[in-house]
Amino acid sequence: MDQVVEILETDRFDCVVVNVIKTMMYKGVTIEDPFSKGRVYFGKVPSDFDVEIDDVLYIGAKALGEEKDKGSMEVYLYDENDNKLDWTLIY
């Protein structure tokens, strides 16, 4: 039996930073979920935010569309104080 779990916008999931690309204006940060090993890239993390490989950051998600268990999602990256750092779309 398939069980559907609803993800609320207020839910946060801890992830590990696996790559940081530093540019003049932004940092590109790739995070990995420790359980699924799924990765998400965030390309516009503020350059003044201090982040290194193996740091823990948090993601939250908002389902788009009518079918909450299928389709696109907005995924947000947060620091330990729940400050939003960046967002991306997953299709």
**Per-residue model confidence as pLDDT tens for the chain (91 residues):** 567 667 788 899 999 999 999 998 999 999 999 999 999 999 999 999 999 999 999 999 998 876 655 668 999 999 999 999 999 999 8
Domain range for 34 is: 13-90
**Residue type for position 42:** F
Token digits of residue 38 = 């799924």
Helix (H) or strand (E) holding 6, with range, is: none
Assigned domain for 7 exists: no
Domain count, the chain: 1
Whole-prediction pTM value?
Answer: 0.87
